[in-house]
Structure 1
Amino acid sequence: MYELVQGVFNGDEKTDMHQFIYALSASGKHYFLRNEILQAFGDYCHQSQKPAYFYYSSSVGKLIHYTHEIILEEESIWFVIRTRIANQEVWQLTADFSKFEQMTLQALLDVRDRLVNRYQNHILEIDLHPFYESSLRIDDARNIGQGLAFLNRYLCNQLLTDPEYWLEKLFQALHGQQYDGIPLLLSDRITSSIHLGKQIKQALKFLSQLEPDEPYEKFSFDFRELGFEPGWGNTAARVKGTLELLDRLIYSPEPGILETFVARVPVVFRVVLISIHGWVGQEDVLGRNETLGQVIYVLEQARSLENELREQIKLAGLDLLGIKPHVIILTRLIPNCEGTFCNLRLEKVQDTENAWILRVPFGEFNPEITNNWISKFEIWPYLEQFALDAEKELLAEFQRKPNLLIGNYSDGNLVAFLLSRRMKVTQCNIAHSLEKPKYLFSNLYWQDLEDQYHFSVQFTADLISMNAAEFIITSSYQEIVGTPDTIGQYESYKCFTMPQLYHVVDGIDLFSPKFNLVPPGINENIFFPYSQKEERDSNLRAQVHDLLFSREDPEIFGNIDHPNKRPIFVVDTITSINNLTGLAECFGKSQALQERCNLILLSSKLHPDEAINRDEAEEIQKLYDIIDQYHLNGKIRWLGIRIPSNELAEAYRVVADYQGIYIHFARFESFARSILEAMISGLPTFATEFGGSLEIIKNEENEFNVNPTDLEGTAKKILDFLEKCDTHAQYWQEVSERMSQRIHHKYNWHLHSNQLLLLAKMFSFWNFVAPENNEARDRYMEALFHLIYKPRAEKILEKHMEGVREWGVGSEECGMRGQEDKEN
């Protein structure tokens, strides 16, 4: 970067940079993000009649394309330059263009504070770098999110480098395994790693004399005489295969062998999935805001984990000992449950043998509040006491400590941190969606937004839990570090300011092996391709067809004049970020789209008076205004109805029957379930280029990724696709099949659960054989919890106790809201 900067300021293009900065300052703004910078530079090139190459290939053009922020001060211009993924540099240019030098991150945070007139000379700096300095780190940014593979390679190298030490550690890890006092894997007859190697040879010789399908119980006595306890397998062939893996690991360690062996070791039996806010239940709750996606995720994850654990226990031969998995979804009990089952302490998860929803009430404090649903923005004062109460309930249900805690969302992850510290149990985090990058400048203007959103509490909770977790699973690579052009969700926590509260100089190590990509699956018993005609219910199809195209209902707006046109289908809640109004405007502005397609919107609301917050009400009204403005009556149908999953799945298939398309037009989406649902159903799917959907819809030509700020460009992409469908008779079917197969093979719950359990085993094993001594880091997290989080959470509680605010109201639109930071 230094050479590029010098090339600009020591060459002929210095004047161009000067003129461009002057054009920026003429706008009257002081803070510019990437999209604004590129737009302004494009305008400058056009007005200055620059040749075509200048925009991209000149030294100024290259510098501008690396620049993600420009801040104008009286005496200087600041550039935040992101030369590559997970790396940024800060450069200061003096106002007279005499000096351009690299600056510290601390200096940048001071500039941002000055920008909002909230600079203070002495402020708390949060810096996690020292705690990661001596830890293992991934070297190549392309491998971020592949922590498991990294650890496997590292451990195998260590086994080769210092075999005696590491083999003894491996022996100790295996020797210590037990289930509720029942010894597993190795008995005291085997006394060392050297002895283990000898006994493996004896055992393999013994097993080779048996029939492969000989049940374990028939040879268990002789096998245990050799020093091997249950857990190696349920048949002679399975036991022999597991011991052969261990034998190969001892003498010729390879990452694939290590991973396969660890996957077979039975060490996880009791799992807790923590999902606190919203309505967590199975009946009459799955359409409510703040609940839908996360509840479906956690329920399907619980079913899949229990099924995977049961299969692993069976293959290990432990079901004969009465061992069975136990999965608990930990959530809050809501006494005023509005007709749902959210007031039941214990509820069995449907289609499972031993998975349960355990509901623990919040400490009462003010029962007018704690007996009701509480918004995710208001939930923070109750989590510490909830964790203490939940610990007692979990121990009562399990009769032992769990083996794994999985947090969901910011509040669930914080509770996972509190429980993990007390119970000494492996902690896994799943963010789903981090609020900080969803709300533009939410950290910079936190004081203005605090009464509504309490971002100071949430962002502190995020910092605590993400650093304390043993491992973090994400649905996409972009969730961690974004793309070359956009900042990742976790990356946004790397360096930021909360003016007059604290500066985060280094908030998370993005190269830590704790980050692992484990995308979710989809329930293929419900969501399956439209082409599987034999599995479809003809009565359900007729019912859903009537709903989508002709039924009269107070909760349905609009009739379609020409139902044989290709449908453009969208399923989403109505918020400014989800951007249904942007899609309607895109459709309204394109006569060509209207001539070839109908637009069908399926949301949960139809009328402004149904909205639970101002943002939702304004978006609903805006949608009506757009329909009127572009005269879309007869071309659009808007269903404000919650429908069950089986009907939703059939809705995708009915649209596919018409060779329609699906579009997800959000300003930003970390990972949308609806994209998986549409694609597995066989619908060619267009989705926002801002977020994880880039990885779901993976196509070299970028044909199906759309920019929600570019309405004309989006319409053109859809029309280009339709033209190909008209020109090549099989093109729609080819895309349909390709997208459906991609979801089937890459996004399924079996892969998810298998990988998640492997991570839990691997990180538990890693913590045993090579503990990093994270106590100092965790004490630092506790300090943040007690000195920052708790005092700010107590301020929320004070307002709840005083009854001075509408505590149950969900998120309202904030002035700085949106995903323009992703677009910019």
Structure 2
Amino acid sequence: MYELVQAALNSDDKIALYQLILAIKSTGKRYFLRNEILQAFADYCQQSHRPSYFYHASAIGKLIHYCHEIILEGDSTWFVARPRIASQEVWRLTGEGSDFEQMTPQALLDVRDRLVNRYQPHILDIDLHPFYANSPTISDPRNIGQGLSFLNRYLCSQVLTNPQYCLEVLFQVLHRLNYDGIGLLINDRIKSGDQLAEKMQQVRKFLTQIHPDTPYAKFRFELEKLGFEPGWGNTASRMSETLELLQHLIENPQPGILEAFVARVPAVFRVVLISIHGWVGQEGVLGKDETLGQVVYVLEQARSLENTLRQEIELAGLNLLGIQPHVIILTRLIPNCEGTFCNLRREKIAGTENGWILRVPFGEFNPEITDNWISKYEIWPYLETFAQDAEKELLAEFHGKPHLVIGNYSDGNLVAFLLAQRLKVTHCHIAHVLEKPKHLFSNLYWQDLEEKYHFSAQFSADLINMNAADFIVTSSYQEIVGTPETIGQYESYKCFTMPELYHVIDGIDLFNHKFNVVAPGVSEDIFFPFSQFQERDPKLQAQINDLLFHREDGQILGSLKHPDKRPILTVAPIISVKNLTGLAECFGKSQALQENCNLFILTGKLHTSEAANPEEAAEIQKLHDIINQYQLHGHIRWLGMRLPSQDIGEVYRVVADKKGLYVHFARFEAFGRSILEAMISGLPTFATQFGGALEIIEEQEHRFGLNPTDLEGSATRIWDFCTQCDAHPEYWQEVSDWMIQRVRNKYNWKLHSNQLLLLAKIYSFWNFVAPENTEARLRYMQTLFHLIYKPRADSILAKHMHR
């Protein structure tokens, strides 16, 4: 970057840089983000009649395209450049324009504080870099999020290179495995690595003398005499394969062999998934509008994990010990549950044999608050006592400690952090979406937003959670480090200020091996291709046809003039970030789309009287206003009702029957479950380019990515697809088939569960054979919890007590 800034300063185009700065100063603003910077530079190039190459290829053009922020302060201009993914540099141009000076992160945070008149000379600096300094680090940004592969390679190349050492380490790992005191894999008859190698040869020879399909129970006692306990396999052939993997691992450690062997080691039996604020239930519940996605995710994940663990236990031959998996979703019990089961302490998870929702109430404090559902923005004061109460309940339910704790969202992960520290178990962190990057400048203006959002508690909790976790699971790569054009969600925690509270100099090591991209799946018994007619319910199909195209109802707005036009569908809660109003306006501005398509909006509410808060009411009213402004009556159907998942699955398929398409027009989407649902149903799907949605579609020509800030351009892209389908009807089918296969091949719960359990085992193995000094980092997190987080949470509680 140094060479680039010097080139911009020393080139003949230096005057252009000076003129650009004058141009942006004339706006009266002092803080500019990337899109504004690029637009200002484009305007300058046009107004000054610069040649076409100048915008991209000149020294100043290259510099500007790397800039994500420009801050004007007095006579100085600050450039925050991102020369590559996960890398940021700060440069200050002096008032005379004669010199570029590289600045420290502390200096940048100070200037941001001065920008909002909140500067103070002495402030707490939070810097996590020293705690990661000696940790093995990924070097190539393209490999960020592949922590499992990195650790496998590192272990094989750096730790397990000596066969004798490898043998001894593996002996110690296998010897310590047990299930509530019941020994697994090897017993005390084997006392060293050398004995393990010797006995292993005897067992392998023994297994060659019996039929491969012989059940383990028939030769169990012969192997116990040799020192081998259950867990190697349920048949002679399965056991032979596992022992062969171990032999290869000792002789020639390879990442693939290590992964295959560790995947077979029975080490995880009890899992707790934590989802606190989500109104978690099954029948007629599935979350409030702000939590619907997380409840569906956690329920499907729990079912898949329980089923996968059951299969693993069976294949390991552990059924004969009476071992069975136990999966619990930990959430809060809500006394005023509005007719649901959310006041029921224990609820069986459908589709499992031993999966349960365990609900633990919040401590009373003020029952006017704690007896009711509490928003994710207000929940912080109750999490510490909840964790203490939940610990007792979990130990009683499990009759022992869990082997894996999975936190979901910021609040669930804070509880996971507290539980994992007390129980000494592995903590998996799944944020799904981090609030800070969703709300522009939310950290900079946190004091102005504190009464409503309490971001000081949440952002502090996020820092604690992500740094304390053993490993982090994300749904997409961009969730970690974004794209060349955008900052990732976790990357946004790398360096930021909370003026007059603290500065984060280095908040997370993005290159650390703890990050892993493990995409979720979709429930394929509910969401499946429209072409699978034998699995569709004709009665339900008829009902959904009538609902979408004909039925009159107080919760449905719009009567179609031409029901046979190609349908455009969107399914989302009516919150501003989902941008249903933007999609309606995009449709309203395009005469071509209105003449050839109908728009279907499926959301939870239709009337402002149904809104849960003023923001939701404003969004509902805005959508009504847009429909009236563009006279969309006759072209649109707005269904403001909550439908069961089975019905929503058929909605996708009915729209696909009519060769329709799906549009996800959010301003930002961390991942997008409805995108998976639409694609596997067979709907060609367009998605926002902001966030992780494009990773799902992953097509090189970017035909299905939309910029929700460019309404005309988005309408043109959708219309181009429609005209191509009209001209070549087979094209719609080709895209439909491709999207179905894309989801089936990559986004399924079986893959997700296998990978998640493998991660838990690998990180446990890593912590044993090559333990990092994490104690100091965890102590630091506990300090932040007690000195920063708790006072913020207590201040919220004080206000709740007086409501």
**Shared fold, TM over 0.5:** yes
Judged with a 3 Å threshold, the aligned counterparts in structure 2 of structure 1 residues 52 and 27 are, in CA distance, closer, same or farther, namely: same
1:189 alignment partner in structure 2: 189
Look up the match of 1:166: 166
1:372 matched to 2:380? The reply is no
- In 1: Cα distance, 2:294 partner to 2:67 partner: 35
Query: 2:237 and 2:543 mapped to 1: Cα distance?
Result: 51
Q: Look up the SS of the partner of 2:311 in the other structure.
A: helix
Q: Is the 2:602–2:641 contact (alpha carbons within 8 Å) kept by the matching residues of 1?
A: yes
Q: Secondary structure at the match of 1:230?
A: coil
Partner secondary structure for residue 609 of structure 2:
helix
- Give 2:629's aligned residue: 629
Does the CA-based 8 Å contact 1:580-1:665 persist in structure 2?
Answer: yes
Task: State the alpha-carbon separation in 2 of the partners of residues 54 and 789 from structure 1.
Answer: 49
Aligned to 2:179: 179
Query: In 2, are the aligned partners of 1:408 and 1:429 still within 8 Å (CA)?
Result: yes
Instruction: Please report the TM-score for the alignment, with normalisation by the length of structure 2.
Output: 0.99
3-state SS of 1:687 partner:
strand
Question: What is the rounded CA distance, in whole Å, between the counterparts of 2:146 and 2:709 in structure 1?
Answer: 32
Deviations 1:179-213 (A, max 9, x none): 11211000111111122112111111110111110
Partner of 1:580: 580
Question: Contact 1:166/1:769 (CA < 8 Å) preserved in 2?
Answer: no
State whether structure 2 residue 475 is matched by structure 1 residue 475.
yes
- Cα deviation, 1:450-485, whole Å, max 9, x if unaligned, reads 010000000000000100000010000000000000
CA distance in 1, matches of 2:292, 2:572: 10
Checking the alignment, whether the CA contact within 8 Å between 2:436 and 2:459 is kept in structure 1 is yes
* TM-fit CA distance, 1:729: 2.4
**Corresponding residue for 2:155?**
155
Q: Does 1:64 align with 2:80?
A: no
In 1, the alpha carbon distance for the partners of 2:286 and 2:783 equals 37
- Structure 2 distance, partners of 1:63, 1:483, is 17
Structure 1 residues 249-648: aligned runs within 5 Å? 249-286=249-286, 288-648=288-648
Q: CA deviation at 1:278?
A: 2.5
Q: Deviations over 1:617-661 (max 9, x none)?
A: 111111111111111110011000100011000000000011111
| Residue-pair matches, total | 803
**Once the 2 structures are TM-superposed, how far is the Cα of residue 159 of structure 1 from its aligned partner?**
4.8
| Partner in structure 2 of residue 748 of structure 1 | 748
2:54–2:61 CA contact under 8 A, matched in 1: yes
**1:500-525 C-alpha deviation (Å, 9 max, x unpaired):** 00000000000111000111100101
1:291 Cα deviation (Å)? 2.2
Q: Which amino acid aligns with 1:543?
A: Q
* Gap change, CA 1:555 and 1:602, over 3 Å in 2: same
Matches within 5 A, 1:92-131: 92-131=92-131
Distance 1:446 1:243, change over 3 A: same
Deviation at 1:288, TM superposition (A): 2.1
| Percent pairwise identity | 72
The answer to whether the 8 Å contact 1:159/1:167 transfers is no
Deviations 1:134-168 (A, max 9, x none): 01111111000000000101111135533333331
**One-letter amino acid matched to 1:271:** V
Distance in structure 2 (CA, Å) of the matches to 1:190 and 1:730: 65
Taking the aligned partners of 2:223 and 2:97, their CA distance within structure 1 comes to 80
For residue 180 of structure 2, what is the amino acid of its counterpart? D
- 2: CA distance between counterparts of 1:287 and 1:569? 22
Shift of 1:290: 2.4
Give the gaps of 5 or more residues in structure 2: none
Cα distance in 1 for residues equivalent to 2:301 and 2:567:
32
SS in 1 for 2:577: coil
3-state SS in 1 of match to 2:53:
helix
Residue identity matched to 1:432:
H
Aligned partners of 1:159 and 1:253 also within 8 Å: no
Deviations 1:648-702 (A, max 9, x none): 0000000001111100000000011100000000000000000010100110100
Aligned-pair CA distance for 1:287 = 5.4
Q: Which amino acid aligns with 1:542?
A: A
Q: Which residue of 2 aligns with 1:677?
A: 677
Structure 1 CA distance for aligned equivalents of residues 600 and 558 of structure 2:
10
RMSD: 0.8
Task: Tell me the residue number matched to 1:792.
Answer: 792
Q: What's the CA shift string for 1:701-755, capped at 9, x where partnerless? A: 0000110001111011111111221222210000000001100110000000000
Matched, 1:237 2:215: no
In 1, the alpha carbon distance for the partners of 2:150 and 2:566 equals 47
In structure 2, C-alpha distance between the alignment counterparts of 1:34 and 1:380, rounded to whole Å: 33
Query: Following superposition of structure 1 onto structure 2, how do residues 711-750 of structure 1 map, counting pairs within 5 Å?
Result: 711-750=711-750
The answer (yes or no) to whether the contact 1:287–1:604 under 8 Å persists in 2 is no
Can you list the C-alpha shifts for 1:375-412, whole angstroms capped at 9, x where unaligned?
11000000000000000000011111110000000000
Letter in 1 for 2:403: N
- Provide Cα deviations, 1:569-603, integer angstroms capped at 9, x if missing partner: 00001121111111111111111111111100000
* Distance (whole Å) between structure 1 residues aligned to residue 159 and residue 28 of structure 2: 62
Query: Match for residue 658 of structure 1?
Result: 658
SS in 1 for 2:386: helix
SS of corresponding position for 2:642: coil
Contact 1:285 1:291 in 2 (8 A): no
Call closer, same or farther: CA 1:759–1:171 in 2, change over 3 Å. Answer: same
One-letter amino acid of the structure 2 residue matched with residue 601 of structure 1: I
User: In structure 1, what is the Cα distance between the partners aligned to 2:728 and 2:201?
Assistant: 62
User: Which range moved further: 75-84 or 282-291?
Assistant: 282-291
* Letter aligned with residue 121 of structure 2: N
Could you tell me which amino acid in structure 2 is paired with residue 316 of structure 1? A
Which 4+ stretches in 1 moved above 6 angstroms? Answer: none
Aligned partner of 1:819 in structure 2 is: none
